[in-house]
Copies of this chain bind each other. A is one copy, B any other.
């Protein structure tokens, strides 16, 4: 093992591919040799200044554990590194630990690198019949699966997903598997085209007239226009699920929340075990979402591409198995 590695570092709103020392695992952490990483909307927000993060980006990865229980095996990793000792952790909410670091997001270097240090307890082995290109979707798929984890009675409910991008695509697939009465509203015909073969009803935003009929709206736009549309789509006492962390403030109208006694819930990281199982059982098909792959050295080009509207998931191939 070399003592240095290539990595993608965020400094002052700028990405640089740099030579870095290998991460030094903290107690309880193991080194993971990264194989494939995915670029996420949150990475774009971090570059915009969200969370004030400086360091190595990247939190969607599949790699090979270099030591510990899963040594030599392919693994994916949960991103919240929690203390597991405080009141919040002991109350069953370790993902909300106030002392946590978060891989590639908060005080912990991420996975756009040849190696990443990850708490061993965060790792999950990847089943043999799940490819790297599938496994790299485990983290965002788990985030989508957090919706049924928070709203267990979705079956048969009238659900609208706003947004046909990376996150909207995954949420739609999960909510279709949950047998909801689903419609996805987006702005990109070719992205909506990916959903119809799955039996998912879709509509272009310009063609859809909100009618206060939805039980649940899932906002995957992260914009005030998504919020305002949700207010028009939801029935009284309906639920708006916010999935996107966005930098800065939004101009929102809150009167409809009160008038219609709506519920708004935030939804962040989700459960990895059901995500891996969904991938293994082919219940959620993720590979059609891959728009492009780049080597790690071409990360800045990959980030330029991912900001184009027509593009869905962009992967970085860091190493061969």
Binding site for B on A (CB under 8 A): 50, 88, 93, 96, 98, 150, 212, 227, 235-237, 242-268
Q: Give the complex CA separation of A257 and B245 in angstroms.
A: 9
Q: Give the complex CA separation of A217 and B209 in angstroms.
A: 34
Assess A255 versus B50: contact at CB under 8 Å? Given A261-B267, A263-B265, A265-B263: yes
- Return chain B residues, CB-CB under 8 Å to A267: 258, 261
Q: How near does chain B come to A161, taking the closest CB pair, in angstroms?
A: 16
Does B254 contact A254, Cβ atoms closer than 8 Å?
A: no
Assess A264 versus B261: contact at CB under 8 Å? Given A250-B253, A252-B249: no
Q: How near does chain B come to A109, taking the closest CB pair, in angstroms?
A: 20
Does B255 contact A252, Cβ atoms closer than 8 Å?
A: no
- Return chain B residues, CB-CB under 8 Å to A261: 96, 150, 265-268
Which of B247, B257, B259, B262 is close to A255, meaning CB atoms less than 8 Å apart? B247
Does A250 contact B254, Cβ atoms closer than 8 Å?
A: yes
- Return chain B residues, CB-CB under 8 Å to A235: 88
A252, closest chain B residue (CB) = B252
- Return chain B residues, CB-CB under 8 Å to A262: 265-266
Q: How near does chain B come to A82, taking the closest CB pair, in angstroms?
A: 12
Q: How near does chain B come to A139, taking the closest CB pair, in angstroms?
A: 15
Assess A243 versus B258: contact at CB under 8 Å? Given A249-B253, A251-B251, A253-B249: yes
A97, closest chain B residue (CB) = B236
Assess A242 versus B254: contact at CB under 8 Å? Given A88-B236, A96-B237, A98-B212: yes
- Return chain B residues, CB-CB under 8 Å to A253: 248-250
Q: Give the complex CA separation of A245 and B120 in angstroms.
A: 48
The 9 residue pairs across chains A and B that have the minimum distance between CB atoms? A96-B236, A257-B266, A258-B266, A264-B264, A261-B266, A245-B258, A249-B253, A249-B251, A245-B255
Q: How near does chain B come to A5, taking the closest CB pair, in angstroms?
A: 30
Q: Could you pull out 10 A-B pairs where Cβ atoms are within 8 angstroms?
A: A242-B258, A245-B258, A246-B254, A250-B252, A250-B254, A252-B252, A256-B266, A262-B265, A263-B263, A263-B265
